[in-house]
Structure 1
């Protein structure tokens, strides 16, 4: 049996200050709402992939603001075993918001007011993100 590795991906939590988090409605299976993101291309850094995927799926130019975490549950994506590096970002110009690439739609949602169904483990990622924001606000 040939040796197999998980596939590296990125997801981006894009905040639009005063409005919320950008989510895309997937055109392809699995259908539902997701964070912008996708596969890292050969020869591309995770950071480059995050900026590229954000632009392709949402029309937004983004500034990465941090590394949020790594999500690697083998069951996180029903298509194959992926490991996602999750970044946080802000939109450079929120007026550029427009669905593109494999996104059937794109919208901004108030924190905690996520649409359904959420795909992959993105509801968990967003819940973890909100918990982190709450912890930081307490300090």
Structure 2
């Protein structure tokens, strides 16, 4: 399945779903974060995905991080809640999803970096290094907030 992100695009299709999802700002002791290169659109992003029945939203972040990066993580906080109606994800199956994502702060506690069906590459990046790869503006905002270490979660 492919994905196209529409951000403040007046020609974007109308949304037909809202799915709670997560991203994980996984930071190591050297101040680097893990990003994946998504297999559905080639963009770089924090690991994350849709909330499943039977799990808490923080369990979603832990599961998605493991699936997409191979890392076991511990959630240490909430960076923010991102619900911009101007950010739509259009999938090749016809779904057009309005953004609804909780971004969690996390640390790695085990596992080994590996790719998956959803991640072409998995790499550690310093804040400066994130500027050199293709990241959509919505994801870039979450990364910025993560590195800023905001006292209160972002709500927007």
Q: Same fold (TM over 0.5)?
A: yes
Deviations 1:49-82 (CA, angstroms, capped at 9, x unpaired): 1000000000000011111110000233432102
User: How far 1:7 sits from its partner (Å)?
Assistant: 1.3
RMSD: 1.9
Pair 1:128-2:139 in alignment: no
Pair 1:36-2:47 in alignment: yes
Pair 1:61-2:78 in alignment: no
Pair 1:102-2:118 in alignment: yes
Aligned-partner Cα distance in 2 for 1:64–1:38: 15
The correspondence for 1:23, drawn from 19, 22, 35, is: 35
Structure with greater strand percent: 2
Q: Which 4+ runs in 1 deviate beyond 3 A?
A: none
Aligned-partner Cα distance in 2 for 1:77–1:24: 20
TM-score (norm 2): 0.75
- Structure 2: state its 5+ residue gaps: 1-15, 91-96, 152-156
- Structure 1: state its 5+ residue gaps: none
The correspondence for 1:86, drawn from 100, 103, 125, is: 103
Question: What is the aligned residue count?
Answer: 129
Change (3 A) 1:67 1:132: same
Contact 1:77 1:121 in 2 (8 A): no
